[in-house]
């Protein structure tokens, strides 16, 4: 009888471990999905800037585009990128469900004349905060009372677009 009880306890500990592992796998899967979406949107804007290099300065954002704002109507590229960051490609009723949680994008003109394109989003679990050199959406993903403080849940991907003068 004691052997059956010990076996049951060991089996229960193993099954609880598997349940915890499954939870971590789902969280990691969502993080990977969001990173993939961010990389696609990063590539999209980088390509738009490279293709339209004569007007590259027009892509610079004053703050950010994406979640929590009305998309600009002055530029087709900026509007489309903003809507993509908000998840317009996939909806459920009137709610936009595509892209990332709280997706925001920035285009900054750097001192050397290149452009830094950044996509930021809300991660699911706290990690280390992104570097100081990526200010896009800094402080917008903090949630007091949860583990997400000091930008620990902000995720970013960046790329630099260099626009050569062909004259």
Among the residue ranges 110-114, 130-134, 157-161, the one predicted with the least confidence is 130-134
pLDDT tens for each residue of 58-68: 999 988 999 88
The number of domains in the chain is 1
Are residues 153 and 141 in contact, defined by beta-carbon separation less than 8 angstroms?
yes
DSSP track, 89-141: TSEETTEE-SS-TT-EEEEEE-TTS-EEEEEEEE-SS--PPPPTT--TTTTSS
C-alpha pair distances (Å), 37 with each of 31, 112, 134, 149: 10, 28, 19, 24
Structure confidence at residue 141 (pLDDT): 86
pLDDT tens string 127-151: 888 888 889 988 888 887 788 888 8
Residue 26 maps to a domain: yes
> Can you read off the two tokens belonging to residue 157?
């991907």
Structural domain boundaries, residue 113:
2-161
Residue 167 lies in a domain: no
- Dump pLDDT digits (tens) for 19-71: 888 888 888 888 889 999 999 999 999 999 999 988 999 999 988 999 888 99
Which residues are bridge partners to 159 per DSSP?
Answer: 117
- Res. 165: pLDDT tops 80: no
What integer pLDDT is reported at residue 23 of this predicted model?
Answer: 80
Count other C-beta atoms under 10 Å from residue 82's C-beta. 24
pLDDT interval class at 155 (50, 70, 90): very high
Cα 103 to Cα 69: distance, rounded to the nearest angstrom: 11
């Amino acid at each position: 009888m004691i052997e059956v009880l010990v076996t049951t306890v060991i089996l229960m500990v193993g099954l609880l471990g598997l349940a915890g592992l499954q939870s971590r796998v789902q969280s990691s899967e969502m993080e990977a999905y969001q990173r993939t979406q961010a990389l696609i949107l990063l590539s999209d804007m980088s390509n738009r800037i490279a293709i339209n290099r004569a007007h590259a300065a027009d892509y610079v954002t004053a703050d950010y585009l994406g979640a929590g704002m009305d998309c600009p109507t002055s530029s087709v590229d900026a509007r489309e990128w903003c809507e993509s960051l908000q998840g317009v490609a996939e909806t459920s009723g009137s709610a936009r469900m595509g892209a990332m949680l709280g997706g925001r994008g920035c285009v900054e003109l750097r001192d050397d004349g290149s452009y830094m394109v950044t996509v930021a989003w809300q991660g699911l679990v706290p990690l280390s905060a992104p570097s100081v050199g990526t200010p896009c959406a800094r402080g917008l993903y903090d949630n007091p009372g949860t583990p997400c403080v000091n930008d620990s849940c902000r995720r970013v991907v960046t790329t630099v677009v260099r626009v050569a003068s062909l004259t």
